[in-house]
Structure 1
Amino acid sequence: MIDLTTEMAELWAALGPGRGHRGRVVLFVSALAGEGTSTVAREYARLAAVRARRPVWLIDADLLQQDQMSAIGGDPERFGQLGRPAHASPDGSSFFAITPPLVGKDGQPVAPARLLTARPALGGRLWVTRFNQEVLRSGQRAEAIDDGRYWDALRGHAETVVIDAPSADRSDLALILAPLADVTVLVVAGQATEAAAPVALRDEIEAVGGNIAGVVVNRSTYRAPQLLRRLTA
């Protein structure tokens, strides 16, 4: 088992929760696949939920590869039992679109938000989402959209919203969502990644208006990551 409680506590202290009734949206992303982004995002969400006065949401934004709910459900000692599924959109908005649009049996369009569900963990302190990709038909795809309504809606219901984004070499989702998040944290596997890839990703995110808070350097699965280091070109 990987326990990053101490490291995530330092990261939480550095980033801080949302202010007042407006939650903070924190996006986690890596330049390359396999750098441990999902683990870091999940552990950060858990720590934030334990300390939060309002619920914390963990958004599994990898629309092709959904792992967060199964990972949390498979670790009841740390996350408790998962509760019953519920709608994951407070107002019916979503952060993705389906192309071509999904149509129900009645011939009417199905709102993309209907494909996103959430289940509570930690006794309701943490909510984790799942995109029901199995509903899609052949030729349909889900893509992130440049629309802040979903994130604004969640800010009113959560103290912290954690976005687990797919790596930049697999998807451009992080470049679409980073300007809509409050801060972005890059995850780097220090022993495996050349500096050029995360530096390039940092520059791309800042070029589209994203706010880079810093970097979690994940040196191995059992050694503590170094937190919020700034990348140098």
Structure 2
Amino acid sequence: MIDLTSEMAALWSALGPAPARGGRMVLIVSALSGEGASTVSREYARLAAVRARRPVWLIDADLDQPGQQEAVAAAPDRFGTLSRPAFASPDGSCFFDVHPPAKSRDGRIVPPARLLTARSCLGGRLWVSRFAAEAIRVGQRVEASPDPAYWNALRPHAEIVVVDCPAAERSDTALVLAPLADAVVLVVAAESTGADEASALRQEIEAVGGRIAGVVLNRTAWKPPGFLSRLTG
């Protein structure tokens, strides 16, 4: 396993303290699949949970391939034991829509929020969400919603809400949620991703009103000349 503790500590310092009231929402995304955005999200959430005064939430926004709860459960030495599932919405709102709506066996419409659960670890300091992708049937689609209601409801219960978004190449979730976040962090595997791809994602996020707050170079110590300046300049 790659230890990202020092990188996450630097990111924690760069983002600064959370606001006194309401939690900060930090969205983490990469341009391409396999760059390690989920690992960075998970490790940052873990470090934040250890340092924060209030609980930290890790929202798995990959609605097609959720996997954060499984990854946390596979590392009990780092995260401890997961609690029993609980509903992940404080007020019944949700950050995604299901079309057509999901239905129960008796034909009743299932509110989207009922498909989102969370389990705690690290003594209740970290909550990790999971979308029930297995409940979606052929012909249904799930899409992130631009409605801020869910995030507004969750913020008072967290110091930091870390949102793990699927790669931009296969989903527009990051572009939908970026305007709602306080900060967006790009994850780049510099040995396999060109600066043009990452720069294009930055421009797309900024075009919709997102604020790029940092870049994490994952799985490499090599920094090509001019690479970081093209991303952060």
Answer yes or no: is 1:76 the counterpart of 2:70: no
How far is 1:232 from its partner? 5.6
What does residue range 214-233 of structure 1 map to in structure 2 within 5 Å? 214-220=214-220, 231=231
Counterpart residue type for residue 63 of structure 1: L
Q: Which consecutive residues of structure 2, in runs of 5 or more, have no partner in the other structure? A: none
1:151 corresponds to = 151
Instruction: Give the whole-Å Cα distance in 2 for the aligned partners of 1:16 and 1:84.
Output: 32
1:95 corresponds to = 95
What does residue range 121-200 of structure 1 map to in structure 2 within 5 Å? 121-200=121-200
Instruction: Give the whole-Å Cα distance in 2 for the aligned partners of 1:54 and 1:131.
Output: 24
Q: Is the 8 A contact 2:82 2:121 kept in 1?
A: yes
SS class of match (2:157): coil
Q: Is the 8 A contact 1:218 1:224 kept in 2?
A: no
Instruction: Give the whole-Å Cα distance in 2 for the aligned partners of 1:154 and 1:27.
Output: 14
Instruction: Give the whole-Å Cα distance in 1 for the aligned partners of 2:35 and 2:151.
Output: 25
Q: How high is the TM-score relative to the length of structure 2? A: 0.94
Aligned residues: 228
User: Which consecutive aligned stretches of 4+ in structure 1 deviate over 4 angstroms post-superposition?
Assistant: none
What's the RMSD between the two structures over aligned residues? Answer: 1.5
How far is 1:214 from its partner? 1.9
What does residue range 7-156 of structure 1 map to in structure 2 within 5 Å? 7-156=7-156
Q: How high is the TM-score relative to the length of structure 1? A: 0.94
Instruction: Give the whole-Å Cα distance in 2 for the aligned partners of 1:219 and 1:105.
Output: 46
The alignment-based identity, stated in percent, is 65
Instruction: Give the whole-Å Cα distance in 2 for the aligned partners of 1:214 and 1:6.
Output: 15
Instruction: Report which stretch shifted further, 134-143 or 192-201.
Output: 134-143
Instruction: Report which stretch shifted further, 52-61 or 210-219.
Output: 210-219
Q: Which consecutive residues of structure 1, in runs of 5 or more, have no partner in the other structure? A: none
How far is 1:20 from its partner? 1.1
SS class of match (1:32): coil
Counterpart residue type for residue 40 of structure 2: V
